Structures are given as structure tokens and as C-alpha cells.
């Protein structure tokens, strides 16, 4: 997870090159469906590299989650400089065997869920 944390810190610095900000100035909100070991590992690694991180959770299929997560990050860090919406779900198996519930979940998270992040983030 250290590689993911390093990438997050580079992104937070605004540069894919070596960081131009001190790691202590970089703050990352690691969001996931629930508190997971991977999410905790990324946050721990960010902290170990000198940055600050919080862990947030929520289901992007719920349209009320994006505003809550953005507000929590802004409340903790005092602002939002960048947003990476990286969530996604898929149903295994043959596409012809997917149920309506499978399709609804994929569209709710992969499309609709991501659509509310930018509009929420621009209102802060």
C-alpha cells in the first residue's frame, strides 16, 4: 500500500514529479464503501510518509453520500484542492446473466455516484 500512498501524496502535491510541498502539508481523505484493511493501509502509509490522512466510508450508490464525504474532508482539512473519484463495481460472470439488480448497482455506483462528486465539490 505504500505505493498507493506515495501516488496519493504526489497527486496531492499537484505534481507527478517529486513533491514540491512538504509531506506534512499534504492531506488525503481515503474513502471506501466501508472501513477496509486496504483503506486503513493507505491512510497509515500516507501518515508514515509524513502526510495526514482520514478514513471515510459511504456507498456511492446513495446520492446523499458524496456531499457528506466532501463536507467531512473539508471540515477536517479546511478545503478541497483535488478530487479523485475511483470507485467502481462489477458483477462477475456472463453479461447475459446479469439481473436488473446487478445493472442497477453498477449504474448507481459507476455512473450516477460519480456524477454527484464534481457538483458537490464545486459548491464548497
For the chain, the structural domain boundaries read 2-122
What pLDDT, on a 0 to 100 scale, did the predictor assign at position 117? 80
This prediction has a pTM of 0.73
Residue 109 clears pLDDT 70, i.e. is over it = yes
Which CATH code for domain 2-122?
Answer: 3.40.50.720
Query: pLDDT for 52-79, tens place per residue?
Result: 999 999 888 888 888 899 999 999 999 8
Query: pLDDT for 11-57, tens place per residue?
Result: 666 554 444 455 567 888 988 887 778 888 888 888 888 889 999 99
C-alpha dihedral, 3 to 6 to 8 to 11, nearest 10°: -130
What pLDDT, on a 0 to 100 scale, did the predictor assign at position 98? 94
Q: Are 65 and 59 in contact (CB under 8 A)?
A: yes
- Provide the residue count of the chain: 124
Amino acid at each position: 500500500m505504500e505505493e498507493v500512498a506515495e501516488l496519493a501524496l504526489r497527486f496531492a502535491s499537484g505534481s507527478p514529479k517529486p513533491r514540491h510541498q512538504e509531506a506534512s502539508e499534504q492531506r488525503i481523505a481515503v474513502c471506501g464503501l466501508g472501513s477496509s484493511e486496504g483503506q486503513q493501509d493507505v491512510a497509515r502509509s500516507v501518515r508514515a510518509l509524513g502526510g495526514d490522512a482520514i478514513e471515510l466510508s459511504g456507498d456511492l450508490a446513495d446520492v446523499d453520500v458524496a456531499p457528506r464525504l466532501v463536507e467531512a474532508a473539508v471540515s477536517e482539512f479546511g478545503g478541497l484542492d483535488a478530487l479523485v473519484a475511483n470507485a467502481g463495481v462489477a458483477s462477475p460472470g456472463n453479461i447475459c446473466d446479469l439481473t436488473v439488480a446487478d445493472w442497477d448497482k453498477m449504474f448507481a455506483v459507476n455512473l450516477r455516484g460519480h456524477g454527484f462528486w464534481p457538483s458537490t465539490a464545486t459548491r464548497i
